[in-house]
Structure 1
Amino acid sequence: MTDHDQQPSTSVPSHLLFERVHSGEIGTAQRLAMNRTGSFEWDVGAGTIDMDDAGLLVFGLDPQTFDSRPDTVLNLLEQSERTRLDMAIDDAIRSGRSSCSVHFLVPMENGRDQWTHIQARILRHDDGRPHRVVGVVQDATAEVTHSAFMLDLERRRQRQTSIVERTTSALSRAVTVDDVTAALTGPDALTRLGADGLALALVENTSLSVLALSGDSVEAIDGVGDAGLDRRFPLADTVLDGRPRFLTSVAALIERYPALAPHAGRLEFRAAAYLPLVAQARPLGTLALFYRESTSFNADERNLCLGLAAIVAQSLQRAKLFDEEREFATGLQSAMLPRRIQEIEGGEIAVRYHAAWSGRQVGGDWYDVIALPNKRFGIVVGDVQGHDTHAAAIMGQLRIALRAYAGEGHPPSTVLARASRFLAELDTDRFATCTYAQVDLASGTVRVVRAGHFSPLIRHMDGRVGSPQVRGGLPLGISTDFGDEEYPETRLDLVPGETLVLYTDGLVEEPGADIDVGVRALVHEVSVGPAGAEALADHLSDQLWERWGSGDDVALLVLRRSPDPGSPRAPRLHQYIHQADPEGLSDARNIVRQALTDWDMAELADDAELVTGELLVNVLLHTEGGAVLTLEVLPEPVRRVRLSVQDRSSAWPRRRSPGETATSGRGLLLLDAVASRWGIEPRGEGKAVWCEIGPPATQPSGTPPAPSPTAERP
């Protein structure tokens, strides 16, 4: 490349350019000039720049007066743009690059800024020093504007797509009308919709009910919707007319609806879209969206609003149908369950039924309390297979049949056998599981049978929870089909203050986990829960039913026998020790020691704990059932402890003379040595061995001492 003064000029006077264009002779320079593109050559060493007429035209310079100085061009630019251009070129030169490209703004005489683009090549000496920069300069306003327009268009389209996708996703999880309302008004809901305010109103009979208000809304001010469908207000007018309303200013809103004029000064939005909600050709209501920024509601924005309205309308239609089905199913379920539970003497009962949160919220779970002769009563918790109205209908029939069989006075095993036969004779393929028990709180006797159901839980006075081994049979209906209607009976003893818990699988069934996990959780919550039946039922519902996700319905029955604490001067406790509980004996001894410590009688704890172990071991080894331990303080001038162990065996203990190597036979000898008095009393089906520990009873004057007990085991 030669020096600047040796280069032929490539400039073309403008009059020659137009003449050549007119004559059809168009060269490369002319084509570039027609596209507002010119060329330049900057001599770095000489500090001059040669630019053709088309290039000068890009900068708005007169070819006749241009002095070939770079500063003449640079002085046209604002300081910030000049600095940016200088930095881009200097950076390219210093970095050793052979080219550079930069966009910058050039103020024009008409007051507008023109986007200008320079694409240059840097020519260097052999030592790397630059000596010339040659390139093209172009008016890039149209290119940049179009690019900005396309970017803005793409951003708007992405935003609209995002609004539709996020709204659809949020409403796809909405099941009820309340769910739809929550999705439209919850956290980030307005951002998701791309609006600053929202109002949702639904038609109910001949009135318009505003269900949701969020953000900036005129309906929050004038209370529209409380007085029927009034065309003076936009929500009602939109649903009655069935056409959308797009209002681009508050003035336009007031002009169309003068009734809103008193509130004009309090409105914070500048545009509003009132959209009718229509599904299956039926008007459901109106959705109003409000915007703080002014908008013209172009075609894309209107289509977006109408699309959102269609999504909301479909979701509301689906939710209304679900709510109607759920209301019907819930009413059916309520009609099938007992309206009230009778009060019982000697205890308290609490029942709970929780419908599933999913599906139709109806199923086959049930509970019942049945009055029986002689102040006894029956309790039952069961579950018919399925979660639909058919399961609820079968449940209702089965509950009534089981109540009738129990009321006739049949034993528990017969009640379930007949209930199984009844279910098998119904025109259904459903089966049922249940646990049924006859309860006598006067004696604490509980006779339990179960048909493929969970065994009950017993919470003892000290908070421990036992799961007695209740023998069971096949589920109702299936047992009859297989010809096996045997339901063996298990007797439990509920001592004063203990609690019996019956439940269905919805209380312990955690999705994706073994059911034993849920049972262990239930045992824990029963142990740590409050003592009262009502309070414990609420505690279990709160901690477990909601914990598992509530995908199944739940029936729960809590029965507590009234505690027998005695009096402050004569406290008393009862504890049942199950024969199959390996830790029951150790727990009983600990309970006795702790009770005497609490009663300020710790000096008697060693003897009482020893006797407790001996009496309980005798029962657990030589009988076929558990034992009821009673510990009480006798309110005499000299306080003593009375300890009683009751079992269901009629065989009495006998005194023996064990040899030196004998491992048993010393129980009565220890009783004689430790107790001040002891004896045996018949108790209904069994007996009670009792003893008193402490100072001997003071005998009244002239009264012979109590004889030594002579009862012996046969």
Structure 2
Amino acid sequence: MTEDDRRLPAGSPPRPAPDGPRNGEIGPTERLAMNRTGSFDWDLTAGAIDIDDAGLLVFGLEPDGFDSRPVSLVSHLDPDERARLEGVIREAIISGRTSYTAHFRIDRSDGTPQWTHVQARILRDGQGMAHRIVGIVRDATAEVTHSAFVLELEKRREVQTSIVERTTHALSRAVTVDDVTAALTGPGGLARLGADGLALGLVENGALNIIALSGESLEVLNDFRSRRLDRGLPLAETVLSGRPRFVTSLPSLGRDFPQLAPYLQRLRFRAAAYLPLVAQARSLGGMALFYRGRTAFNADERNLSLGLAAIVAQSLQRALLFDEERELATGLQETMLPRRIPAISGGEIAVRYHAAWSGRQVGGDWYDVISLPRGRVGVVVGDVQGHDTHAAAIMGQLRIALRAYAGEGHAPATVLARASRFLAELDTNRFATCTYAQVDLTTGTVRAVRAGHLGPLIRHTDGRVGRPKLRGGLPLGLASVFGDEEFPETRLDLVPGETLVLYTDGLVEQPGTDIESGMETLSAAVSSGPPQAEALADHLSEQLWERWGPGDDVALLVLRRSPDPGTPRAPRIHQYIHQADPQGLSDARAAVGQALRDWDMGDLADDAELLTGELLVNVLLHTEGGAVLTLEVLPEPVRRVRLSVQDRSSAWPRRRTPGEAATSGRGLLLLDALSSRWGVEPRGEGKAVWCEFGPPEGSGAGATVGTGAAT
């Protein structure tokens, strides 16, 4: 009787041996063996390993043929697997650990892989040296395979979730139908869908129109871009039935859809999913996803395809609604703006309107060109407060009223005062800003007024851009409400070849930046653009509208006075020098000298530059406006250079006799000394002082000196 038996109560049957059966039951060792689990005892000192029969079966060895050598135990292992297992054991022993565990693969005799798990304890002596390892070894193929299946399932679900998230994110930014197709067919579009090809069709007027094809070889379907909606094609059949169709063999489609059969061999895909696009019970169209490597669709893949179709359908419904609203708003806007621009004499005009990129794309910005009495032309750009159909309606009424007041021949200040009163009487609680100018292209005179709006730009013939200071009044509507309908007028000059640029604030305002930065950018774009009005308007559109983004709409008007280059034998330049532009004087002198050298008359350049400075300084110091400089070569038979400086003052120059210490009064003396002749001519509201260089009229002997009067 064992010690354990002595501890049993009286009358109890004796305890069975540990490894033996209990009344016919399976013992622990047999239980482990049935679960393909064995035990081992490895004597590191003797280099022998004792392993039971169950353990040997796990390693694929027969009990009778095992020689107790560790190397024989792992003989069936792949070299890489053996090296990995030995590394785990070696690292555990060296590191001083008391246990280790490892999974490794053994190829069974039938060629199938078996995953084996070993769990061992390291026994060490008093000095910490490992001398024995005991543990268990078991067949873990079932659990590892199940784990791999779970991991693969999780991986597939992560991929599917990623496809949905990326597609949803890309389509969330799509506003128009073009945006939707770009998101699906642009860079990374097919990868987001997890497909190799895509066809997208919309139903319109009883036809199925393919609006997008993406993927290698799908161009063969171009013949089906627009077809009557019937059951002759799989995508149309899906749209009509409202049921998806999953095809795992494209050639099989030829039996059901004979007209598609000739094209199927040219398609480099093995499977396809034809999906209806339905949103709020409305059939919008269909989508086909094509795959190269897929030959079947499991339940998850079918659900994913249907989910993608639902996302695309919702995006298309939103985009279609937006496009319809934009078309309506654009049509409304076009009816409010002038249908055509009148032809003008002596210049060229270009206009542009750019709607905002978001919302209903309608607002209160406008432009207009108005034919005025006496051959003049009125130009205006403005902006009614707000970005909605109400703003567009007010803009239309205000534009017509302003056109009527201007057409009656009123002065610019009167036109804006009456327009302000008209807007206030509409009682809309809206105000408007605008810049209006009357331009005489024959003389170049510009009379401009401003109502709370940005001032114009003037591009000079040499490419420089000026920003003339226009005195301004209150915005239209507010001016009448506050009883201040004063709109002071500013007089400008456009010399031949110069350009007037009017614009609304959407062209220069950018969220988060100072408006002055936008003005500098606009000025640089005007300066770098081509001189022609249409070409410059296109240049500004390309340079600035995409830069500023969707925040505001833009109206732009470009008016250029026709250039007057003269002829090759009698060239001519014109330049306007603003009174508030100190650099303009230096630029004008340089332009005169350079022009004469270009015309092979460089020997006259020094004298001409000196007199240019004298005449311009006299205007800028003693008048209240700028000056127009003209330099021209007079035609034969007497080839001379004429320099003319025009201003708005009616006071003519007087001869004086300056003393030795005088700092002024020598301008006319220089004219007498350096020019062949000179004179003064009345010019409309001002005068022009001119002088000529070169051989005098007559025999050419001696210089004829002007008397200060017109000759």
Q: How many residues align?
A: 694
| Structure 1 residue 321 displacement after superposition | 0.1
Rate the CA distance shift 1:225–1:598 in 2: closer, same or farther, 3 A.
closer
Q: Does 1:70 align with 2:70?
A: yes
Q: Mapping of 1:379-528 within 5 angstroms?
A: 379-528=379-528
| Structure 1 residue 78 displacement after superposition | 3.9
1:636-688 deviations in whole A, cap 9, x for unaligned? 45533211111111111111122222222222122222222111112221111
Rate the CA distance shift 1:251–1:620 in 2: closer, same or farther, 3 A.
closer
1:286-332 deviations in whole A, cap 9, x for unaligned? 11111112343222212211111111010000000000000011111
Q: Hey, what does 1:237 align to over in structure 2?
A: 237
| Cα distance in 1 between the residues matched to 2:709 and 2:343 | 42
1:362-421 deviations in whole A, cap 9, x for unaligned? 211111111111111111111111222221111111111111111111111111111111
1:38-96 deviations in whole A, cap 9, x for unaligned? 21001233333222333234234444665434344223334443444344434444555
| Cα distance in 2 between the residues matched to 1:219 and 1:616 | 69
| Structure 1 residue 635 displacement after superposition | 2.9
Over the matched positions of the two proteins, sequence identity in percent amounts to 74
| Structure 1 residue 249 displacement after superposition | 2.6
Letter in 2 for 1:45: T
Q: Mapping of 1:102-501 within 5 angstroms?
A: 102-126=102-126, 129-215=129-215, 220-221=220-221, 223-224=223-224, 226-250=226-250, 252-254=252-254, 256-501=256-501
Rate the CA distance shift 1:50–1:253 in 2: closer, same or farther, 3 A.
farther
| Cα distance in 1 between the residues matched to 2:680 and 2:226 | 79
Rate the CA distance shift 1:90–1:663 in 2: closer, same or farther, 3 A.
same
| Cα distance in 1 between the residues matched to 2:577 and 2:264 | 78
Q: Hey, what does 1:20 align to over in structure 2?
A: 21
Name which of structure 1's ranges 522-531 and 171-180 shifts more when overlaid on structure 2: 522-531
1:436-476 deviations in whole A, cap 9, x for unaligned? 11111111111111111111111112221111111111111
Q: Hey, what does 2:11 align to over in structure 1?
A: none
Q: Hey, what does 1:629 align to over in structure 2?
A: 629
Using the size of structure 2 for normalisation, the TM-score is: 0.92
Q: Hey, what does 2:10 align to over in structure 1?
A: none
Aligned partner of residue 100 in structure 2, secondary structure: strand
Aligned partner of residue 20 in structure 1, secondary structure: coil
Name which of structure 1's ranges 341-350 and 628-637 shifts more when overlaid on structure 2: 628-637
Letter in 1 for 2:85: L
Q: Hey, what does 1:48 align to over in structure 2?
A: 48
Name which of structure 1's ranges 54-63 and 638-647 shifts more when overlaid on structure 2: 54-63
| Cα distance in 1 between the residues matched to 2:236 and 2:242 | 10
| Cα distance in 2 between the residues matched to 1:238 and 1:396 | 47
| Cα distance in 1 between the residues matched to 2:709 and 2:311 | 86
The answer to whether the Cα contact below 8 Å between 1:412 and 1:449 also exists between their aligned partners in 2 is yes
| Structure 1 residue 429 displacement after superposition | 1.8
| Structure 1 residue 219 displacement after superposition | 8.2
The answer to whether the Cα contact below 8 Å between 2:39 and 2:54 also exists between their aligned partners in 1 is yes
Name which of structure 1's ranges 434-443 and 245-254 shifts more when overlaid on structure 2: 245-254
Aligned partner of residue 547 in structure 2, secondary structure: coil
| Cα distance in 1 between the residues matched to 2:22 and 2:278 | 62
1:136-190 deviations in whole A, cap 9, x for unaligned? 1011112211221121111111111110110000000000001000101011111
| Cα distance in 1 between the residues matched to 2:705 and 2:182 | 80
| Structure 1 residue 516 displacement after superposition | 0.7
Name which of structure 1's ranges 390-399 and 88-97 shifts more when overlaid on structure 2: 88-97
The answer to whether the Cα contact below 8 Å between 2:678 and 2:708 also exists between their aligned partners in 1 is no
| Cα distance in 2 between the residues matched to 1:574 and 1:307 | 69
Aligned partner of residue 146 in structure 1, secondary structure: helix
| Cα distance in 1 between the residues matched to 2:82 and 2:347 | 94
Letter in 1 for 2:499: T
Rate the CA distance shift 1:66–1:379 in 2: closer, same or farther, 3 A.
same
| Cα distance in 2 between the residues matched to 1:371 and 1:260 | 61
The answer to whether the Cα contact below 8 Å between 1:341 and 1:369 also exists between their aligned partners in 2 is yes
The answer to whether the Cα contact below 8 Å between 1:39 and 1:54 also exists between their aligned partners in 2 is yes
| Cα distance in 2 between the residues matched to 1:262 and 1:619 | 84
Rate the CA distance shift 1:705–1:113 in 2: closer, same or farther, 3 A.
closer
Q: Mapping of 1:678-689 within 5 angstroms?
A: 678-689=678-689
| Cα distance in 1 between the residues matched to 2:676 and 2:532 | 38
The two structures, once aligned, show a CA RMSD in angstroms of 2.5
| Cα distance in 1 between the residues matched to 2:651 and 2:65 | 135
| Cα distance in 1 between the residues matched to 2:454 and 2:627 | 24
| Cα distance in 1 between the residues matched to 2:107 and 2:684 | 113
Letter in 2 for 1:695: P
The answer to whether the Cα contact below 8 Å between 1:654 and 1:711 also exists between their aligned partners in 2 is no
Q: Hey, what does 2:707 align to over in structure 1?
A: 709
| Cα distance in 2 between the residues matched to 1:72 and 1:618 | 114
Rate the CA distance shift 1:174–1:482 in 2: closer, same or farther, 3 A.
same
| Structure 1 residue 99 displacement after superposition | 3.1
| Cα distance in 2 between the residues matched to 1:637 and 1:255 | 92
| Cα distance in 1 between the residues matched to 2:213 and 2:22 | 67
The answer to whether the Cα contact below 8 Å between 1:17 and 1:30 also exists between their aligned partners in 2 is no
| Cα distance in 2 between the residues matched to 1:90 and 1:66 | 23
Q: Hey, what does 2:581 align to over in structure 1?
A: 581
Using the size of structure 1 for normalisation, the TM-score is: 0.92
Letter in 2 for 1:68: S
Q: Hey, what does 1:534 align to over in structure 2?
A: 534
| Cα distance in 2 between the residues matched to 1:303 and 1:309 | 10
Letter in 2 for 1:315: S
Letter in 2 for 1:136: I
The answer to whether the Cα contact below 8 Å between 1:506 and 1:550 also exists between their aligned partners in 2 is no
**Where does structure 2 lack aligned partners over 5 or more consecutive residues?**
1-16
Q: Hey, what does 1:590 align to over in structure 2?
A: 590
Rate the CA distance shift 1:122–1:254 in 2: closer, same or farther, 3 A.
farther
Aligned partner of residue 136 in structure 2, secondary structure: strand
